């Protein structure tokens, strides 16, 4: 057995990893603030580095590119919504599915929409505005919309089942209605531009979902 010389310590990389994670968090927070305040095109990596208190190479080492930094900022704002394996695996959507009525399912989903708008609406609007000028960002926005459509389809199917409605065309119409009303851009219009409270926005979404998505429900 080889005995290490006395006094020599094993290399411990935990401190370096912790520092890298702390830098990454600061960079992400700084980028999110700058993207939201100034937009994607105007914000530079050098500005993000200065805001985060790190070097420009450190930003590139952590995120590789400005596009990836925006992707991470959007994903961070969405939280668990972006990480779940599928709509049925998300606790918030399971709660929607377990609602005792179609109307209650939609009201519960209005809470999901309002919370997602609060967390991700502003940074989603940044990505949406930058999509025309960058194919990678356009692909990101399209992927986010597809994910939202999948979630809307799950909710529409659950609501239709609670109504005993098996007509696929009506389920598709319901899915598209839910998908439209769940757009984070609506949050930006009403809360961001018109100054609505989050509570007023959530109640408006709930009322609209029940009235428009399932007109026959008045529970």
- Confidence (pTM): 0.78
Evaluate whether residue 208 is within a structural domain. Answer: yes
**Burial of residue 35 (number of CB atoms within 10 Å: 0-12, 13-18, 19+):** buried
Q: What is the pLDDT of residue 83?
A: 43
pLDDT at 82 over 50: no
Q: What total number of domains does the chain contain?
A: 2
Query: How many angstroms separate the CA atoms of 152 and 93, rounded?
Result: 10
Q: What's the whole-number mean pLDDT along residues 153-167?
A: 84
pLDDT in tens, 85-131: 344 456 777 888 889 999 999 999 999 999 999 999 999 999 999 99
User: Residue 24 maps to which CATH number?
Assistant: 1.10.10.60
Are 60 and 81 part of one and the same domain?
no
Give the SS3 label for residue 5.
coil
Q: Which strand (E) or helix (H) includes residue 46? A: helix 45-52
Residue span of the structural domain in which 91 resides: 75-213
- From the list 72, 46, 82, 178, the residue with the least C-alpha distance to 126 is 72
In a shared domain, residues 141 and 202: yes
97 in a domain, yes or no? Answer: yes
Contact 185, 124 (CB under 8 A): yes
43 class by beta-carbon count within 10 Å (0-12 exposed, 13-18 middle, 19+ buried): buried
Cβ contact 101:219 at 8 Å: yes
- Which candidate, 178, 63, 185, places its Cα nearest to that of 124? 185
166: DSSP letter: -
- Torsions phi, psi for 88 (to 5 deg): -70, -15
Q: CA Rg, the chain, in Å?
A: 22
Assess whether pLDDT exceeds 90 at residue 179: yes
- Quick one: pLDDT at residue 91? 75
């Amino acid at each position: 057995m080889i005995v290490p010389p006395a006094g020599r310590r094993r290399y411990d990389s935990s401190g370096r990893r912790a520092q890298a994670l702390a830098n990454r968090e600061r960079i992400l927070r700084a980028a999110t603030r700058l993207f939201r305040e100034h937009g994607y095109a105007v914000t530079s990596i050098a500005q993000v580095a200065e805001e985060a208190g790190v070097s420009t190479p450190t930003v590139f080492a952590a995120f590789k590119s400005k596009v990836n930094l925006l992707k991470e900022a959007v994903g961070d704002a969405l939280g668990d919504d972006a990480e779940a394996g599928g709509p049925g695996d998300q606790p918030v959507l399971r709660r929607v599915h377990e609602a005792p009525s179609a109307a209650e399912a939609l009201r519960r989903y209005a809470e999901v929409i309002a919370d997602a708008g609060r967390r991700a609406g502003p940074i989603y609007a940044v990505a949406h505005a930058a999509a025309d000028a960058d194919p990678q960002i356009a692909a990101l926005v399209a992927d986010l919309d597809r994910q939202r459509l999948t979630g809307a389809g799950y909710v529409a199917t659950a609501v239709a089942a609670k109504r005993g409605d098996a007509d696929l065309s009506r389920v598709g119409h319901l899915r598209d209605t839910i998908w439209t009303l769940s757009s984070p851009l609506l949050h930006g219009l009403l809360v961001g531009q018109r100054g609505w409270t989050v509570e007023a926005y959530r109640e408006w979404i709930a009322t609209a979902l029940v009235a428009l998505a399932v007109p026959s429900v008045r529970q």
